[in-house]
Amino acid sequence: MSGTVDSILAKIPAHVTVVAAAKTRTLAEVKAMLDAGIRVIGHNYVQEAERHVEGLSDVPSIRVEMIGHLQRNKVRHAIRLFDRIQTVDSLRLAEKIDAECEKAGKTMPILIEVNSGLESQKAGVAPDAVRPLIEKICDLQHLRVEGLMTMGPLVADPEALRPLFRATRALFEDLKDLSCPNVNMQVLSMGMSNSYRVAIEEGSTMVRLGTILFGPRPAKPV
């Protein structure tokens, strides 16, 4: 696995952070990824993250980030597990995170998830609603908005995502003029295993890679 990771990292600019998307992966697989040099692990599910975090308590200098949809009833557990939540897409969710962080005496870095493809079945904020949402989050004292995250539609040709990545980058740059003490637009999380090259070309500073690092997921039993 180390050789595979090395070859991938060699193609990615140093300023781009690689997040290993650990959805459905075993603790042993995640540990192997860390041994190969990855330092940021992304989880889609709170329960799965909890199992992994407990098993990695002796591994230094790693970050764990929430990259899946976060339900409000899981927020209390999430703020204990994650170093950053990438998928904030509503004021209600932001307020819940803020309230739980206040109880815990901590501040949570977050990204705003943008529904760049305006897909009705997906989470995320419509691009034109991102600024109004962040302006409301400005009043929340225990959150720190650090940037944007987007998934983009599932497509066979990653070039089809280029206009969406480009538009999200433009939105990211435009939001840098916000005058708010807890907003610092520095992270643009775009691109997965099939699209990370295009995303980086369009300005991504963070890519979330699963299959290309871990290999295909085992087939589900019939």
Q: What is the CATH number of the domain that holds 201?
A: 3.20.20.10
pTM, full prediction: 0.94
What is the domain count for the chain?
1
Residue 92 has pLDDT above 70, yes or no: yes
- The answer to whether the Cα torsion of 10, 12, 14, 20 is positive or negative is negative
pLDDT at 222: 39
> 10 lies in a domain?
yes
Residue 116 has pLDDT above 50, yes or no: yes
**Mean local confidence (pLDDT), 6-23:** 93
Q: What string of H, E and C letters represents the secondary structure of 66-133?
A: ECCCCCHHHHHHHHHHCCEEEEECCHHHHHHHHHHHHHHCCCEEEEEEECCCCCCCCCCECHHHHHHH
* Alpha carbon 119 to its chain's center: 18
Tens digits of residue pLDDT in 175-192: 999 999 999 999 999 999
> 220 lies in a domain?
no
pLDDT at 57: 85
End-to-end CA distance of the chain: 28
> 219 lies in a domain?
no
Residue 221 has pLDDT above 60, yes or no: no
Residue 1 has pLDDT above 80, yes or no: no
Mean residue pLDDT across the chain: 93
Percent of the chain with pLDDT over 90: 82
Bridge partners for 42 per DSSP: 21, 65
Q: Name the residue range of residue 157's domain.
A: 2-214
67, 19 Cβ separation under 8 angstroms: yes
